[in-house]
Structure 1
């Protein structure tokens, strides 16, 4: 299989796992009896996850973003309540994110990726010529598929982790191995471990749990609540905009736009593994709107309420901390975020 096409198959849209590099997803888990499975080595399980061929499937993932970090103008956040995920096993896919009374739909067909927002009545068609059949980034859809999010986490963290298999689990009615990644001693992170339930038969990640120190309850969790493998109707991978939809055409490699048609912010990645930091800049127009009160939020007042003032070589700003991550928003509109202590964010900003 063409490697670019395979990468596209794994997820309809989105290559970033999220601002903290770990999905930014949470969902309630249902406990089921652990199945008996043959023993398997940790590295063998990791290898099988990363080399597994995508299969035709349909599934539902419940999603709840409870990070506690503030919404930042121009920086997309995943706030869907659940997602329906479909693949045809040959390169096409569909992800439908449900949000209250609206839905965001991403459809990857033969030659284009469609992004549709039912509430805004807008759609974007991104052409995918054969020589450039690699998915455009879509921060909102990133991580909506638990299998995609977990596979990326395993790929990103395996070199900086101690890896083990810790028993079995049953997720969405399917038997799974529990793969555990623990940060190596020199990693600077707020997290204790990431647990990935891997389907024993298909080697597809079914659930991802992120745990921090001081509690046995996952701080973040993403997983399928139902999942079926098998052929899917071809119509799922076709899209025709409803009448009255405002359609935007763009070429492969162009940056997607948000609901206000502003260009998505450039994102820079600093470091690797557990202490990865994501850097971005709030678009100037949105920052001015937020500061003047012309936008949907008073960003300065919000940061004063939920953050603490900080100063350093990077300038001045506010830090917002949660159990699983930290965000530093500077007064000149820069944003640094990661599953790391404040000092790591300071260093990332000061070295740029």
Structure 2
């Protein structure tokens, strides 16, 4: 399978299932009148998005989620990001970024400057300062801020899905009071996927993605829509990225490091991960570390956790020639975790997941 086709899974699963990683991608304004813009071909638009340089900006972001996820609160990694009401994002267009997330009455502020990351929670009045050593940052890509860069995230998604898609420009739109082109990616007819299309609203001037919509089959409204409701492209003052904990805040300092155990787990996960199929119906399979399925006792203020109870609460018990385990579904995809720790995930019907588990 070609590398670009293998990468489709990361794009689809990252967009549809691992949405927590894309919450700061770009989030949406209400629909406005369709502006008149010069015609542009789909290929020209794609190329201009890929070539666009990151811009400094100040923007307000919102998320609309109709994925059909169970009410699991923060029980699973990344799920808590779906409870964000809004986010205010500041970027200097280089390596500095500030994100203020609002969740009900609480606010979380994350500031990434150089090799330092501050994470402050207003509800607990506590802050964590993490210093990332240069060697760790270089080896693991922790200094470029790409994970939180809306333009970069959308560019990577576009690069990964276009190989197995029909790509077209479907008119124009107004997003965050800015004129934008509507870029639409639809799976080719041979693809077995739950997704109908992915739409990206691209700013007509900066070529920065302003809105990302994921639509599933049989629905008219997006299952997930992320977009800017307000954005201003302008240089950001340096002191904006200088964080000082509020008076009385409990501050914890730590240094990011990759220990031998973490390295071993990462190597094990990488060795067991493979891709089955290609295109939009690619399924990623692998095996989770055995420790992840064992009950974790309470330690200090940390509550104990029983993964098996969580699985039975949120998953559906299933079995087949591939074995037995739990099925988790959303409107845009699903995942199966077997009793012996194998998994399969993708934006596909459950039968495709079972086939992937049984593949040799």
TM-score norm. by structure 2 comes to 0.75
The CA deviation string for residues 33-77 of structure 1, in whole angstroms up to 9 with x for no partner, is 000000000011001111100111111111254423355966333
Whole-Å separation in 2 of the counterparts to 1:130 and 1:298: 32
Q: Which residue of 1 aligns with 2:191?
A: 187
Whole-Å separation in 2 of the counterparts to 1:241 and 1:295: 27
Shift of 1:30: 1.1
Return closer, same or farther for 1:21/1:160 CA change in 2, 3 Å cut-off.
Answer: farther
Shift of 1:342: 1.5
Return closer, same or farther for 1:47/1:103 CA change in 2, 3 Å cut-off.
Answer: same
Unaligned 5+ residue runs, structure 1? 1-15
Residue from 125, 133, 146 that aligns with 1:127? 133
Q: Which residue of 1 aligns with 2:10?
A: none
Equivalent residue runs for 1:259-278 within 5 Å? 268=273, 270=275, 273-278=279-284
2:239 equivalent to 1:235: yes
> Secondary structure at the residue paired with 2:250?
coil
Whole-Å separation in 2 of the counterparts to 1:269 and 1:205: 30
> Secondary structure at the residue paired with 1:206?
strand
| Structure with a larger share of its residues in helix | 2
2:353 equivalent to 1:345: yes
Return closer, same or farther for 1:250/1:81 CA change in 2, 3 Å cut-off.
Answer: same
Q: Which residue of 1 aligns with 2:171?
A: 167
Conservation of the 8 A alpha-carbon contact between 2:173 and 2:201: yes
Equivalent residue runs for 1:55-74 within 5 Å? 55-70=55-70, 71=72
Whole-Å separation in 2 of the counterparts to 1:205 and 1:211: 17
Return closer, same or farther for 1:283/1:107 CA change in 2, 3 Å cut-off.
Answer: farther
> Secondary structure at the residue paired with 1:63?
strand
Conservation of the 8 A alpha-carbon contact between 1:113 and 1:128: no
2:253 equivalent to 1:247: yes
Return closer, same or farther for 1:349/1:69 CA change in 2, 3 Å cut-off.
Answer: farther
Q: After the TM superposition, which parts of structure 1 deviate over 4 Å for at least 4 consecutive aligned residues? A: 21-29, 70-74, 240-243, 265-269, 278-286, 294-306
Q: Which residue of 2 aligns with 1:331?
A: 339
RMSD between aligned alpha carbons?
3.9
Whole-Å separation in 1 of the counterparts to 2:15 and 2:151: 14
Number of aligned residue pairs: 326
Residue from 88, 98, 108 that aligns with 1:94? 98
Shift of 1:116: 1.2
Whole-Å separation in 2 of the counterparts to 1:114 and 1:250: 10
Return closer, same or farther for 1:106/1:127 CA change in 2, 3 Å cut-off.
Answer: farther
Whole-Å separation in 2 of the counterparts to 1:324 and 1:137: 32
Moved more, 161-170 or 266-275: 266-275
Unaligned 5+ residue runs, structure 2? 1-12
Shift of 1:273: 4.5
Whole-Å separation in 2 of the counterparts to 1:349 and 1:42: 36
2:124 equivalent to 1:116: no
Whole-Å separation in 2 of the counterparts to 1:339 and 1:82: 26
Q: Which residue of 2 aligns with 1:12?
A: none
Conservation of the 8 A alpha-carbon contact between 1:177 and 1:197: yes
Shift of 1:212: 1.4
Moved more, 101-110 or 173-182: 101-110
Residue from 14, 17, 20 that aligns with 1:20? 17
2:30 equivalent to 1:41: no
> Secondary structure at the residue paired with 2:78?
coil
Whole-Å separation in 2 of the counterparts to 1:116 and 1:250: 14
Shift of 1:338: 2.0
Equivalent residue runs for 1:215-230 within 5 Å? 215-230=219-234
Shift of 1:287: 3.3
Whole-Å separation in 2 of the counterparts to 1:51 and 1:327: 34
Conservation of the 8 A alpha-carbon contact between 1:74 and 1:282: no
The CA deviation string for residues 165-212 of structure 1, in whole angstroms up to 9 with x for no partner, is 000000000000000001122322100110100000000000011111
Moved more, 335-344 or 306-315: 306-315
Whole-Å separation in 1 of the counterparts to 2:171 and 2:164: 22
TM-score norm. by structure 1 comes to 0.77
Conservation of the 8 A alpha-carbon contact between 1:209 and 1:222: yes
